[in-house]
Amino acid sequence: MWYSGWRFNEWQSISIYATDILLIVLVLFWIYNSKFNPPVGGQNLKIYEYFLIIFLIISAVSITNSINPTVSWFQWIKLFEFSVFYWYLSRYAFARFGLINSLFAVMVGGIFQAIIAIIQFVKQSSLGLRYLGESVINLDLAGIASFYTSAGEKVIRAYGTTPHPNVLATCLFFAMFSFYFIYLYYRLHSKHTPFFDTWDRATLGFYGVILFAFFTTFSRVVIFIWFVSFCLRSVVVRAFKHYRITFGTEKGRKRIIAILLVNLAVIVLFSSLYLNEIVSRSSISGEDQAVTLRAFYTDQVLKSDFNWLGVGMGNFVGWLMEKEPFLLHYAYQPVHNIYLLVYSETGIIGLTAFLLFLTFLIKDFITKTRLRRSYDLSMLFFFCALLFIGFFDHLFWTLQQGRLIFWSSLGLLTYLSNNDII
């Protein structure tokens, strides 16, 4: 809709997504169905939600330091929008539409993205789905997320209909978590569900498709955290008695074995087809652009003057343009770390409020659930995995798809703190 300056920069622009309009409509229905009573009353707020409100206030105050208040106020509105989205999910949507139905929708979305991603990767170009948000990609374009094999062959990573392969990898990670939740926890506890019926066979097959597409993103951090979190869950299942009881049944063992076999089959298939690509992508050099840019942004934040309120909400790129005016155009991006980004834009006060919000949210989840249910630890691992990814990318704070995933996980954690779904 609008951008600052004579040359377009995504981080200095104002854009409206269809999901923004959808969210406004859904919130209006929420208010109407609440019979015009405030959906989020002060007496119902949790302690961590007070810290979220404080963070919203601090972020608004930080705009007084902004070089470009127009962009800053737009980014603050986006922060407010997704805070409302968090309350909408945790206070209304999951209860109204059913958590399992919601996660099933995420899984179906993952299947859709996975099919597109696999075709893109095999074709090494986009499919012409720009009206669905697909980026234009081919081997001749510069600035595409790609890498070179040892033979000098350029390989384009899969995008799906997202703006970057790392975003696609995170979307598919969320879809796989949704599959685990339904297949391992909900279906396992359903007394009338036989093992390996038609539904099980179909979802296991689709899970294999999602996992294969997940690997085509070649997103090192997200793939690494998926592998680590999967291994940790397996260790915990054997270490704690009440998890052993849950998964020690015949039905539980069969479900775990089925997932392990699918994982093994997909890993073997992908490795046999793309071993050279895997080896080339696995090597990390200090001269890689992904490494040098991350180091540069981090250095810019850490060597800047200590500040209480930051350079203004959503203004890191504007601040960097003024501080370093002779960089290449593509280098003007947010710092690839959401915690440093929050510190840079809202200062130490804003970062403190944000971290207290996350800390007390996790504490409330652990205290209320005592991690006694079979899915509690899996949810905690998933959420902590997203927080870990936040150390290496800014997508949860700046991109629409990343925001949807991050605030959905916050709403999911809050909802499970207060509800028993199985």
Quickly state the pLDDT bin for 230 (edges 50, 70, 90).
confident
Q: How far apart are CA 37 and CA 92, in angstroms?
A: 13
CB within 8 Å of 223: residues ≥ 6 apart: 169, 214, 215, 217
Please report the sign of the dihedral spanned by the C-alpha atoms of residue 285, residue 290, residue 292, residue 295. Answer: negative
- Average pLDDT along the chain: 89
Q: How far apart are CA 67 and CA 318, in angstroms?
A: 7
**CB of 131 within 8 A of CB of 144?**
no
Once rounded to an integer, what is the mean pLDDT over residues 282-301? 84
The C-alpha angle 218, 291, 330, rounded to 5 degrees, equals 90
Report domain extents, the chain. Answer: 8-30+46-418
Once rounded to an integer, what is the mean pLDDT over residues 256-276? 94
The C-alpha angle 396, 363, 314, rounded to 5 degrees, equals 25
Once rounded to an integer, what is the mean pLDDT over residues 414-418? 92
Beta strand extents in 185-258 (DSSP E only): none
Where is mean pLDDT largest: 24-38, 181-195, 204-218? 204-218
Query: What is the pairing mode between strands 154-156 and 146-148?
Result: antiparallel
Tell me the pLDDT tens digit for each residue of 120-135.
Answer: 999 999 999 988 889 8
Once rounded to an integer, what is the mean pLDDT over residues 408-415? 96
What pLDDT, on a 0 to 100 scale, did the predictor assign at position 396?
A: 96
**CB of 7 within 8 A of CB of 329?**
yes
User: In this predicted model, which residue has the larger pLDDT, 245 or 307?
Assistant: 307
What pLDDT, on a 0 to 100 scale, did the predictor assign at position 155?
A: 94
Tell whether the model's pLDDT for residue 226 goes beyond 70: yes
What pLDDT, on a 0 to 100 scale, did the predictor assign at position 329?
A: 86
Tell whether the model's pLDDT for residue 382 goes beyond 90: yes
Quickly state the pLDDT bin for 285 (edges 50, 70, 90).
confident
Q: How far apart are CA 385 and CA 362, in angstroms?
A: 13
Beta bridge partners of 73: none
Residue type, 255: R
Tell me the pLDDT tens digit for each residue of 72-112.
Answer: 999 999 999 999 999 999 999 999 999 999 999 999 999 99
What pLDDT, on a 0 to 100 scale, did the predictor assign at position 247?
A: 61
CB within 8 Å of 167: residues ≥ 6 apart: 395, 399, 401, 402
* Single pTM value for the model: 0.92
Q: How far apart are CA 6 and CA 15, in angstroms?
A: 17
Once rounded to an integer, what is the mean pLDDT over residues 327-355? 95
Tell whether the model's pLDDT for residue 245 goes beyond 80: no
Buried b (16+ CB within 10 A) or exposed e, 27-44: beebeeeeeeeebbeeee
Q: How far apart are CA 374 and CA 255, in angstroms?
A: 14
The C-alpha angle 21, 23, 28, rounded to 5 degrees, equals 100
Tell whether the model's pLDDT for residue 362 goes beyond 90: yes
Once rounded to an integer, what is the mean pLDDT over residues 51-65? 97
What pLDDT, on a 0 to 100 scale, did the predictor assign at position 185?
A: 81
